[in-house]
Amino acid sequence: MSGQTPSTTRKWLALAVIAAAQFMVIMDTSIIGVALPKMQAELGFSPENLSWVFNAYVVAFGGLLLLGGRLSDLLGARRVFGAGWLVLLVGSVIAGAAGNVGSELAGRAVQGGGAALIAPSALTLLMMLFGSTPQELTKALAIYGAAAPAGGTAGVFLGGVITEYLSWPWVFYINIPIAILALVAIPALMPSAPRRSGSIDLLGAGAVTAGLAAAVYGIVRAPEVGWGSAQTLVVLAVAAALLAGFVVLQSRRREPLVRLGILRAPNLAAANVAQLLLGAAWVPMWFFLNLYLQQVLGYSAFPSGAALLPMTTLIMVGMVVLAPRAMQRFGAKPMIVTGLVVLGIGLAIMSLIRPTGNFWVDVLPASLVAAGGMSLAFIPSLGTAISAARPEEGGLASGLVNVSYQIGSAVGLAAMTALATAFGADELDNLPDLTDGYAAAFLGAAVIAFAGAGITAVTMRTTTPQPIPETV
């Protein structure tokens, strides 16, 4: 544009790289879906181990995000952002070249570690670039937020194309050229921040990561071994002990990974709970909607991806166009509560799916209602969680909100998978039972969304309608 100065142009180009990071981090969770059967056949995964191709990434991502946020605050967001892309590149090479189960899961965990460095530093860079102008910040957050559903849907399409026309390792190798381009662009576009002195709580990072991994493992395994079995109870007890130990460590360290006092910042805890429950409702919906399209309606990978396009388009338009304007008019709390209620209504409608259903009746209306709710709630809860913290703790706040969403996603998916299995989702040859299982997951996710709306209504303070508080 002719009216833009070079620095303004550079700022928006930097946002494009930041949005690309969000796109990639989310795409790496969805691109593997279509490739899983071939990976299982070639690498020798058992059925129960196969889910760890997804979980190894999400647990490493969620567990190490707080460490990523702390490193971003201490070392500077630009350095950590670049390091994250480098780690993601290395993990992608390992995962693509894997010849056995162990090396595949190791590669996925390294990828998750890279994402844990990228995500909080990306949000900190976004705040550095746009934080002084609230109107620009709301627009930038909307573009950043819209990159997530775009990455999810692109992953479904690209996974199908790559698996069919190339081979499954390329679902990982596709990250390599994008990471190289990002590494070239970072020095030219991103603002630098000086290093700050401080210690890094590696013991705390290990405790929270191991605790989260144990919790997800226990929930994922419970439907198979039994919720009351010794294995499930022991694993969940270990998870609780590790997470409690993490909290104790943080309360006693002079320079903790998470300054627990940050949770007293107005609305920060409430916004993080909203993000956690948003992830716990949304990701199971997306996961089981994919399965319903393919296993009940009989769609192949490409039509299944196309069926998600109307929903994704509405989310992107809603986040970029509708949410910023509504934020200015109504404020964050009404937006989050309304969005979670609308999401819950969409999920409740989706639970009415039929074994003899079709896309136009059983999928499209409900998915559009749910997408409308997601687009209303996501940006206000994200913006509130980030801007509630002190400017020097922007990386920590970014890490916390990403942890909330990712852990909500992982635990919500594990819990809804257990619920779906209990109602027949493991009966692949019996479409009525299979549909009942998926319907139960949608209804369970609706309950989570409604609970999120209620909790937000009670715990979040009402603020003056305004885009995002100004950051100095």
> How many CA atoms are closer than 13 Å to the CA of 414, on its beta-carbon side?
26
Domain shared by 144 and 276, yes or no: no
The torsion defined by the Cα of 190, 403, 390 and 138, in degrees rounded to 10, comes to: 60
On whether the CB atoms of residues 134 and 466 are closer than 8 A, the answer is: yes
Domain shared by 2 and 151, yes or no: yes
Of the candidates 256, 274, 289, which is a domain's last residue? Answer: 256
Domain shared by 283 and 220, yes or no: no
Domain shared by 183 and 234, yes or no: no
pLDDT digits (tens, 9 = 90+) for 108-139: 999 999 998 988 888 888 878 887 777 778 77
Which residue, among 81, 104, 97, 274, has the nearest Cα to 187 in the 3D structure?
Answer: 81
Domain shared by 205 and 111, yes or no: no
Domain shared by 234 and 312, yes or no: no
pLDDT of residue 1: 41
Of the candidates 156, 176, 198, which is a domain's last residue? Answer: 198
Count up the domains in the chain and report the number.
3
Domain shared by 372 and 449, yes or no: yes
Confidence of residue 196 (pLDDT cuts 50, 70, 90): confident
Domain shared by 41 and 148, yes or no: yes
Of the candidates 173, 198, 223, which is a domain's last residue? Answer: 198
Q: Tell me the average pLDDT across 412-437.
A: 83
The per-residue pLDDT of the chain, averaged, comes to 81
> For the domain that residue 43 is a member of, what is the CATH number?
1.20.1250.20
On whether the CB atoms of residues 179 and 85 are closer than 8 A, the answer is: yes
Per-residue b or e along 79-101, where b marks 16 or more CB atoms closer than 10 Å to that residue's CB: bbbbbbbebbbbbbbbbbebeeb
Domain shared by 194 and 207, yes or no: no
Q: What is the pTM of this model?
A: 0.78
Q: Which domain holds residue 150?
A: 1-198
pLDDT at 468 over 50: no
**Whole-number Å distance between alpha carbons of 260 and 269:** 11
Domain shared by 134 and 280, yes or no: no
pLDDT digits (tens, 9 = 90+) for 305-324: 678 778 878 887 887 777 77
What are the residues whose beta carbons fall under 8 Å from the beta carbon of 202, sequence distance 6 or more? 67
Confidence of residue 168 (pLDDT cuts 50, 70, 90): confident
Confidence of residue 392 (pLDDT cuts 50, 70, 90): low
pLDDT digits (tens, 9 = 90+) for 63-111: 788 788 778 878 888 899 999 999 999 999 999 888 888 898 999 999 9
Which residue, among 351, 225, 217, has the nearest Cα to 285 in the 3D structure?
Answer: 351
Domain shared by 173 and 140, yes or no: yes
Domain shared by 316 and 401, yes or no: yes
Q: Give me the amino acid identity at 359.
A: F
Please count the other Cβ atoms lying within 10 Å of the Cβ belonging to residue 102: 10
Chain position carrying tokens 């913006």: 383
